[in-house]
Structure 1
Amino acid sequence: MTDAAPQPDTVPAAAPAGAAPQAPASPARAGGGRSLTFLALLLGAGGLLLGGWSLSQLQGLQGIDHQQLERLQGVQGQAESLQGRVRQLDEQLGRLPAPAALAERERLLAELQAGQQQLARRVDRVLGASRQEWRLAEAEHLLRLATLRLTALQDVNSARFLVDAADQILRDQDDPAAFAAREQLARGLEALRQLPAVDRTGLFLQLAALSEQSAALNTRRPEFRAGTAEVPAAAQVAEGDGASRWADWWQRLSGFVRLEVGAADEVRPLLAGETLEQLRLALRLTLEQAQWAALNARPEVYRAALEQARALLQRYFGLDEAHNLAFYERLGELAQQPVAQAMPDLTPALNALQAYLDQRARAELEAAGAANTEAATGNAAAAPEPVVVPSEAELQEVQP
């Protein structure tokens, strides 16, 4: 705000009445009007600024009110969902049983859990004993099977493996009472280990190879070679004579008929083709019989079959050819091979194992009887005393 213009020290003399105003008074009035206009502009600008600030504050308050309204609506929605959840919980609580019923169920659950634990312990004990019984029964079965393999087939390797498996089962039991049974098993096992090895499979395969080679065997077939026979003197005539036809016929007939006087070997008729195949089939059958005897440890049958094969070879095929002679000698070598041997007796080991199983069964029966007796005694001692209920007369006497 500007200060007023300084007034002059000398005041001019008053103008006479009716005279016109003087010129110097106009500039002073113009300066006062500008001041008022400037002041009004300042006041208007201040009012505008104040109005704008008030408008911005009003808009900010409206935005805050809108946000608060949205928050209020969200809170109302959460409150409604919580009320619905509370109603659901109230319904669930209404369906729950009473505290007395809950206590009764808890008691029954505790009894059921205790019974389950006791039953689980009994099952574990029974299953543990059952596993041991199964293993011991398996050992007895293995020992019986080993005895059968020895007596029926004389299979030493299989019997040794079976006896070793039975001894392993007894060793896993770790029971001092099984000492006698393990002792007998050890004796039988050592006796099996000391037996010499008999290669029955090798004999079977060698006889099979000889059976295949029997198809190449040939019989003795006397042959007449042309030009070696002597022509009779009557047939020896000059060439070109008509009697030379007799020499040609003699040459032809000598290929069919041959006479040997003073032959060293026994002269037999030639064999036809079918008869030769029958002889070869008979030879193969005898070799197959020897194979069966070798696998089943039958030395009598084995040697008899090989001797029969040698007789057939010598009688009908002969030993003139090198192949037949080698075949004959090979059969003799195979006839000397052992196919059976004295087997140890596993009966003592089987009896000792059965005695151990019987002793174990008796001990388990005695333990079960003692446990039943203790259980019966404990139940009798734990029985609750009877509750005496007073009568109505006694109750009335007690009341004052």
Structure 2
Amino acid sequence: MTEQQESQVKPQPTPVVNGGKSRSGTLLGGVAILLALGLTGSLYLHGHKSAVAQQGELDQLKLQLAGAIAKMDQSNSKESEQLAAFGKQQQLLQEELKDLQSRVLDLNDKRPNDWMLAEAEYLVRMAGRKLWLEHDLISAITLLGNADERIKALNDPSLMPIRKALAADIAQLKGMPRIDREGLTLKLAALSDQIELLPLSTVNMPEAKIEPDQAVSTNPDEWQSNLKKNWLKFTENFITIRRRDGGVEALLSPQQEIFLRENLKTKLLQAQFAVYREQQALYDDSLEKAQRWLTQYFDTDNSATHYMQTELDKLKGEQIQFDYPDRFKTQAMLEEVLNERLQRILASN
């Protein structure tokens, strides 16, 4: 066989086009696939872990929610029990109230006059407060009279001793002297307003001594005396001399005059306070000092000063302090009757 024939029989190699590039592309593709698989696996693993954690948190929240719901159920059950207990207590109270109302109505039906008797006892106590605390004699007598009207309306013969004692208390108060406090204080206030108009006393000069007779004697032996008398008559035309015995009181200064009038007003104001407080000693002392200052410092011959002195004399004769009874006889008797009837009612029930 010839060389030409051998060359024709021998298989020819396949030509390779860009052989290096195809091989590198294959490698890159494999690497990319591996990376994608790794990334996918890691993402899956991370997601699985996150899902597991979230599921744990969700389970924990479910447990907490279940505990809270259980606690709420317990509290609601306790509140329901408390409401039920309160309802029972309220029902018991309503029943007791109805029972009490029925008992009160029963007492009213049995002893309707006891309320009027208690009202009379209250009026007697109020009369005592008016008398001992405020020294209001007229109001005390009026309240005792109202109490007597309440007892009279009861028409109960067993209460006649109480009415008798009540009449004795009223008679005792009516027999006491009454004082017009408002009238006395108004008079003292009017006198105080007149103090600024009172004139002060002027300088009191002692009376001049009476000089002996200056007539000239006809006896020649008395020539010296006649000479002296003639000399005195001659000097009288120029200088007049009168002798006076006693001291001359000086006039008050303007400031002293202001103090005097204000002190006099203060004494009259003290007398007004003493009238309402029933302080007889303070009342008499204030008026006495006012009178003494009027006589000592003011013109007693003046009509205004004379009028004030006269009015102060009248006011000094007023009695402003009295001895009131310590307790009414009626009050103890009413308290005894009310306690007796109350014990009787309680015993019957």
**TM bracket, shorter-chain basis:** 0.5 to 0.7
> What CA distance in whole angstroms lies between the structure 1 residues aligned with 2:281 and 2:238?
63
Does the 8 A contact of 2:271 with 2:283 survive in 1?
yes
Measured at CA, do residues 176 and 319 of structure 1 come closer, stay the same or move farther in structure 2, by a change above 3 Å?
same
1:287 to 261, 264, 268: 268
**Could you say which residue in structure 2 is the equivalent of 1:78?**
none
Shift in CA distance, 123/343, structure 1 to aligned 2, threshold 3 Å: closer
Shift of 1:300: 2.1
From 124, 128, 140, the counterpart of 2:121: 140
Q: Does 1:261 find its partner at 2:261?
A: no
Corresponding residue for residue 180 of structure 2: 199
Question: Do the aligned residues in 1 keep the contact of 2:201 with 2:299 (CA within 8 Å)?
Answer: yes
CA contact (8 A) 1:294 1:302 kept: yes
* Deviation larger for 343-352 or 278-287: 343-352
Give the C-alpha shift of residue 193 in structure 1.
Answer: 2.4
Deviation at 1:361, TM superposition (A): 1.3
Are 1:139 and 1:166, in contact at CA under 8 Å, matched by a contact in 2?
yes
Tell me the CA shift for residue 235 of structure 1.
11
TM-score, length-scaled by structure 2: 0.55
1:158 aligns with 2:134: no
1:333 to 305, 314, 323: 314
Match in the other structure for 1:169: 150
| Residues 160 and 193 in structure 1, CA contact (< 8 A), matched pair in contact too | yes
How many residues are aligned here? Answer: 225
For the pair 1:220 / 2:196, whether they are aligned, the reply is no
What's the CA shift for 1:341? 3.6
Q: How many Å separate the matches in 1 of 2:264 and 2:98? A: 75
In structure 2, the residue corresponding to 1:182 is in which secondary structure?
helix
Residue matched to 1:351? 332
Distance 1:343 1:260 in 2: 63
- The offset of 1:336, in angstroms, is 0.8
The answer on whether the counterparts of 2:130 and 2:139 sit within 8 Å (CA) in structure 1 is yes
SS at match of 2:272: helix
Residue type of the alignment partner of 1:200: R
How far 1:181 sits from its partner (Å)? 2.3
2:31 corresponding residue in structure 1:
none
Given that 1:142 and 1:165 are in contact with CA atoms closer than 8 Å, whether structure 2 keeps it comes out as yes
Structure 2 residues not aligned, in runs of 5+: 1-96, 206-234
Structure 1 residue aligned with 2:160, among 175, 179, 186? Answer: 179
Per-residue Cα deviation, 1:257-284 (whole angstroms, up to 9, x for no partner): xx98325xx6332222222122111111
Residue 137 (structure 1) shift: 4.1
Whether the aligned pair in 2 keeps the contact of 1:188 and 1:345 (CA below 8 Å) is no
List per-residue Cα deviations over 1:195-226 (Å, max 9, x = no partner): 343322211211111111112112123399xx
Within 5 A, what are the aligned runs for 1:230-245?
none
Shift of 1:354: 1.2
CA distance in 2, matches of 1:117, 1:145: 34
Mapped contact 1:297–1:339 kept (Cα < 8 A): yes
Contact 2:280 2:321 in 1 (8 A): yes
CA 1:345–1:260 in 2, change beyond 3 Å: closer, same or farther?
A: farther
**1:37 corresponds to:** none
Q: Do the aligned residues in 1 keep the contact of 2:148 with 2:163 (CA within 8 Å)?
A: yes
Match of 2:301 in 1: 320
Q: Which residue of 2 aligns with 1:362?
A: 343
2: CA distance, partners of 1:348 / 1:117? 40
Q: Is the 8 A contact 2:126 2:143 kept in 1?
A: yes
Aligned with residue 306 of structure 1, among 258, 279, 287 = 287
- Once residues 320 and 120 of structure 1 are traced to their aligned partners in structure 2, the CA distance between those partners, rounded to angstroms, is 81
Residue identity opposite 1:340 in structure 2 = Q
| Offset at residue 331 of structure 1 (A) | 0.4
Task: Report the TM-score, using the length of structure 1 for normalisation.
Answer: 0.48
How far the C-alpha of 1:188 sits from its partner, in A, is 0.4
Please, which moves more after superposition, 304-313 or 341-350?
341-350
Amino acid at match of 2:245: G
For the Cα contact (< 8 Å) 1:163–1:189, is it kept in 2? yes
Which residue number corresponds to residue 55 of structure 2? Answer: none
Instruction: For residue 211 of structure 1, give the secondary structure of its aligned residue in structure 2.
Output: helix
Residue in 2 that maps onto 1:250 = none
Tell me the equivalent position of 1:149: 130
In 2, the alpha carbon distance for the partners of 1:128 and 1:260 equals 102
Aligned-partner residue type, residue 278 of structure 1: F
Superposition deviation, residue 185 in structure 1 = 1.0
1:262 maps to a residue whose letter is: D
Shift of 1:179: 2.8
Which of 1 and 2 has greater Rg? 1
- Letter of the structure 1 residue corresponding to residue 328 of structure 2: T
Percentage of identical aligned residues? 29
Counterpart pick for 1:188 among 157, 162, 169: 169
Letter of the structure 2 residue corresponding to residue 273 of structure 1: P
Aligned mates of 2:298, 2:141 — CA distance in 1: 45
**Contact 2:204 2:249 (C-alpha < 8 Å) held by counterparts:** no
Which amino acid in the other structure matches residue 199 of structure 2? N
